[in-house]
Structure 1
Amino acid sequence: MANFNVADVKILRDRLGAGMVDSKNALVEADGDIEKAIEILRLKGQKGVAKREGRATSEGLVAAKENGDTATLIELASETDFVAKNQKFIDLSEKVLDAVTASGASTLDEALAADAGSQTVAATISDEAAILGEKLELRRIAKVSGEHFAIYLHRTSKDLPPQVGVVVGYTGDDAETARSIAQHISFANPEYLSRDDVPADAVDAERKIVTEIAENEGKPAAALPKIIEGRLTGYFKQVALLDQDYAKDNKLSVAKVLADAGLTVTGFARFKVGA
């Protein structure tokens, strides 16, 4: 019989999160050698990672951290919410976020290649995927520049880690209003800061659509320009932050709220897990 006891099994479970049966079997195969048993479990886990490569990762969490004049937002994805709320997965997200932030990475490829200690972020995630038994991936990152930052992480369920994350870079001194704007972004999901940031081809496509709709409604030709511009204004209120009605008071625009608070938004990012 292999030379190990219940305490050895507990060590494996604590260090790797492996199941009781898998831990015992690994110790039997390793003849009680804990380090060898760990290697066995990792190798088996890595084989499982390859098999899971094509699976969807629609769960996970978002996390954010500021560092000097930039802030980083990440989405770390898993297959199930069961793993998403596992402390090992949460610890992994913190390690990945720290590594990506310290590296200054601004693209996903740069983030995956960042140094996470003894190996890259990509390798670290792969190792943890082997341990947790699910496909895990760093799905995306965003960097926001600013003098100050408002970070808002929203939990859609009290049992899960944050599922919606917002980072707002801004100038000014009203941190409370800046946080409120971050909360607004989490709800309203603007795509651009201002209407000037909306790509011309997107505006042209929208103009074509609202023109066709107005014409099909039989509107008088003389009234069409005003109708079209009014509907384009409605489009900008959907996609441009500064044009949006403020979530806490829809009689005010976000631009008005910011101006009254002496704030200027220099950039923002918003992630929702799986979206």
Structure 2
Amino acid sequence: MANYTAADVKKLRELTGAGMLDCKNALVEADGDVTKANEILRVKGLKGVAKREGRSAENGAVTSLIAADATSGVLVELKCETDFVAKSPKFLAVADQLAAHVAASKPADIEALLASEIEAGKTVQAFVDEANANLGEKIVLDRFAAYEGAFVASYMHRTMPDLPPQIGVLVELDKADADLAKGIAQHIAAFAPKYLTAEDVPAEIVESERRVAEETTRAEGKPEAAIAKIVEGRVNGFFKDATLLGQPYALDNKKSVQKVLDEAGVTLKRFTRIKVGI
């Protein structure tokens, strides 16, 4: 006879997230001791972490946490291998716990985050490895954003209705305006600007765009006297596309995002857009 009960299997599955057959085998090996079986599964699972290192983790979720007074907020991207795991309650619980830890600990960068303690004696890296072991997939935490300011808001977008949010946006304004913050964040989610202003674009990127614009203009046979003006127009077009403040506003494309902010008397301090796997 089996030296464990159906209740033991259920309890072990709840503790570990492991499959039914794996739980049954662990209970047999542990002679029905649920605690020992839990340890057996953890050891076996953690051994599999290294084997999964070479796998691709392009699915997952973005989660956010905004303070009750909206003066701070975080975005966290947690990646996994399949959409099946991405929408599982256990995976989403891990993501939420990581977001709460980021909000509480305010790490300087990803290295500091992974090295910080999320539970007594357990680093975030160990916590992620444990999730890797329990869920049986490569789990990756390599991006987050944390803001503090006068007003912080987020917008989360689902690309598929049965999946968790795949795109997350965090914005910081210099004063409270929930409706405007939501509209700007939705715009960012849809149009994916790379920079806030033209001044934020790295000089080497600008020079590359200018060089391409000049070579294209000359190849088109434009008059020499007109080249400088055409090139400048094309570079300005690049700024309009690549910078948030220069883009036509999604909810009123007759106005730029900058114009909408100016009319509201609000300054957008910064933004972060995270799309899972990109």
TM-score by length of 1: 0.96
For the 8 Å contact 2:66–2:153, the answer to whether it is kept is: no
Task: Supply the distance in 1 between the matched residues of 2:206 and 2:140 (Cα, whole angstroms).
Answer: 34
Task: Give the secondary structure class of the aligned counterpart of 1:64.
Answer: strand
Task: Supply the distance in 2 between the matched residues of 1:172 and 1:95 (Cα, whole angstroms).
Answer: 29
Task: Supply the distance in 2 between the matched residues of 1:3 and 1:127 (Cα, whole angstroms).
Answer: 27
| The one of 134, 138, 150 aligned to 1:135 | 138
**Can you list the C-alpha shifts for 1:40-74, whole angstroms capped at 9, x where unaligned?**
11111111111111111000011122357543221
Does residue 210 of the first structure (1) align with residue 179 of the second (2)?
Answer: no
Does residue 160 of the first structure (1) align with residue 163 of the second (2)?
Answer: yes
- Matched letter for residue 227 of structure 1: I
- Matched letter for residue 113 of structure 1: A
For the 8 Å contact 1:210–1:228, the answer to whether it is kept is: yes
Tell me how far 1:247 sits from its aligned partner.
1.2
Gaps of 5+ in 2: none
Task: Give the secondary structure class of the aligned counterpart of 1:192.
Answer: coil
- Matched letter for residue 160 of structure 1: L
Tell me how far 1:186 sits from its aligned partner.
0.5
1:199-238 alignment, distance < 5 Å? 199-238=202-241
Q: Which residue of 2 aligns with 1:146?
A: 149
Tell me how far 1:79 sits from its aligned partner.
0.6
For the 8 Å contact 2:172–2:270, the answer to whether it is kept is: yes
Q: Which residue of 2 aligns with 1:87?
A: 89
Cα RMSD after superposing both structures: 1.3
| The one of 193, 199, 203 aligned to 2:196 | 193
Q: Which residue of 2 aligns with 1:105?
A: 107
Task: Supply the distance in 1 between the matched residues of 2:201 and 2:135 (Cα, whole angstroms).
Answer: 41
Gaps of 5+ in 1: none
Q: 1:142 to 1:173 in 2, by over 3 A?
A: closer
- Matched letter for residue 262 of structure 1: G
Task: Give the secondary structure class of the aligned counterpart of 2:160.
Answer: coil
Task: Supply the distance in 1 between the matched residues of 2:251 and 2:104 (Cα, whole angstroms).
Answer: 36
For the 8 Å contact 2:169–2:271, the answer to whether it is kept is: yes
For the 8 Å contact 1:241–1:254, the answer to whether it is kept is: yes
- Matched letter for residue 14 of structure 1: E
Q: Which residue of 2 aligns with 1:58?
A: 58
Does residue 96 of the first structure (1) align with residue 94 of the second (2)?
Answer: no
Task: Give the secondary structure class of the aligned counterpart of 1:116.
Answer: strand
Task: Give the secondary structure class of the aligned counterpart of 1:226.
Answer: helix
**Can you list the C-alpha shifts for 1:141-185, whole angstroms capped at 9, x where unaligned?**
123342101200101111111000000000133210111000000
TM-score by length of 2: 0.95
Task: Supply the distance in 1 between the matched residues of 2:225 and 2:189 (Cα, whole angstroms).
Answer: 40
For the 8 Å contact 2:150–2:176, the answer to whether it is kept is: no
Task: Supply the distance in 2 between the matched residues of 1:236 and 1:53 (Cα, whole angstroms).
Answer: 39
| The one of 116, 141, 152 aligned to 1:114 | 116
Moved more, 144-153 or 129-138: 144-153
For the 8 Å contact 1:168–1:265, the answer to whether it is kept is: yes
